[in-house]
Amino acid sequence: MCEGRTVIITGAGGGLGRAYALAFAAEGAGVVVNDIRQEAADAVVAEIAAAGGKALANADDITRMDGAQRIVDAALAAFGEVHVVVNNAGILRDRMFISLSEDDWDQVMRVHLKGHFCLASILGKRWRDQAKAGKRIAARIINTSSGAGLQGSVGQSNYAAAKGGIAALTLVQAAELGRYGVTANALAPAARTAMTESAMPDVVKAPESGFDAWAAENVAPLLVWLGSEASSHVSGQVFESQGGRISVCDGWRTGPQQDKGARLTPAEAGAMVDELMKQAVPAQKVWGT
């Protein structure tokens, strides 16, 4: 499905990123396995090569523009072009909101939000310039949100804020870059990774027998399809995926409304809110409540 395409995957030295890298390579893509742990990236590349695939290990910093440029340059040198970026890398600094330090906040924003910005910015400019020069573009940005970002999660306000920001970023990327042949979608995956095992080990534990719904490999097929040319008609969407399930997320939208047609008094505003709340669809519960 991805023969002749090149994909950069961040945080691909283990967990979901590794599963994505193996799946893309199995479908013919050249894969840049980016991870801050060089030895982990090398190990995934060795797996791909042993299976007959094409891959390159890279340990440059995704949170700096110069690091992101080196990743793109390495991909171009090895494979000639880049068609897909999968922004997957992430970290956790979990604490209740009032216990968060400034560094807890900044580190999560840097890796998740800025990490999603740098590569997509460099590649987006490249794809725009190519499209304006008359080249046919079929490029893909695939971002990583989370149920924490979509519904909130107790003890993860920094992570939830970053992942919610990524969902909104995806909508804007899709709206702005579609004219150049670029789609942007996001995934909120549910799988067993180092991050989820540290946060909820009992929930993601592998079963002794039967289908392992939390295996990272289950999420990879959707990523491969989104990264292929077959997905050109899908953009600006956030998907949830776990096991054999895929769901399309229904995000913030204007709901029930009333309009007085004139300035409200505070009492009128309160009465209007009470009436609207009777009509509104309840939000999903915050994780952990």
Pairing verdict, β 238-242 and 30-34: unpaired
Q: Which of 20, 157, 163, 241 is catalytic?
A: 163
Q: Which of 159, 228, 231, 241 is catalytic?
A: 159
Give CA–CA dist 256/280, Å, rounded: 6
Q: Where are the beta strands (DSSP E) in the chain?
A: 6-9, 30-34, 54-58, 84-86, 139-144, 182-189, 238-242, 245-248
The verdict on whether 125 is a catalytic residue reads no
Taking each helix axis as running N to C, give the angle between helix 65-79 and helix 115-132, from 0 to 180 degrees, rounded to the nearest 10. 50
Give CA–CA dist 72/282, Å, rounded: 44
Q: Is residue 190 helix, strand or coil? A: coil
CA distances from 209 to 81, 170, 213, 242, 272 (A): 42, 37, 11, 18, 54
The verdict on whether 163 is a catalytic residue reads yes
Q: Which of 146, 153, 231, 235 is catalytic?
A: 146
Tokens matching residue 129: 């310039």
Catalytic residues, by residue number, are: 146, 159, 163
